[in-house]
């Protein structure tokens, strides 16, 4: 490394959710969201198998053709899909909202799939 280069050590904010939340933790979380926009969660209890399944299912959803995803887009009655370029050219999302998260997700699945899909139930 030359003298003009510098070595920056950057540490991603970490939130250990096995610990009780206290004001300093909430302050750190707020700062991470403002400065970074994301953070790393530890001790969340989500198994690797569940993570793999959710990752696989989300890839399946996002690989749908644009025409299919727009059936639940901002112009639909469901309004759970945000396509690219609405928020950012690099961002698209499916939204699930409460208080009945299952019903919210189910409304998207019902529109996207012509036949019931047990993977999303």
Q: What is the DSSP string of 22-45?
A: -HHHHHHHHHHHHHTS--EEES--
Domain boundaries, the chain: 12-45, 55-120
Q: What is the pLDDT of residue 48?
A: 93
User: CA 84, CA 90: separation in Å to the nearest integer?
Assistant: 6
54-86 pLDDT, tens digit each: 999 899 989 999 999 999 999 999 899 999 888
Give pLDDT tens digits along the chain (121 positions). 445 555 566 677 888 888 888 888 888 888 888 888 888 899 999 999 999 999 998 999 899 999 999 999 999 998 999 998 887 788 899 998 889 998 988 889 889 887 766 666 5
State pTM to two decimals: 0.62
CB of 25 within 8 A of CB of 19? yes
Q: Which residue reads 């999303």 in tokens?
A: 120
> What phi, psi does 16 have (nearest 5°)?
-95, 105
Q: What is the pLDDT of residue 67?
A: 93
């Amino acid at each position: 490394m030359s003298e003009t280069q510098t070595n920056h050590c950057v540490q991603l904010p970490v939130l250990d959710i096995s610990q009780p939340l206290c004001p300093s933790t909430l302050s750190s979380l707020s700062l991470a969201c403002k400065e970074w926009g994301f953070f790393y969660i530890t001790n969340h209890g989500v198994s690797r198998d569940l993570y793999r399944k959710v990752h696989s299912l989300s890839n399946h959803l996002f690989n749908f053709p644009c025409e299919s995803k727009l059936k639940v887009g901002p112009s639909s009655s469901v309004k759970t899909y945000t396509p690219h370029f609405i928020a950012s050219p690099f961002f698209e999302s499916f939204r699930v909202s409460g208080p009945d998260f299952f019903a919210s997700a189910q409304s998207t699945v019902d529109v996207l799939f012509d036949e019931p899909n047990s993977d999303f139930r």
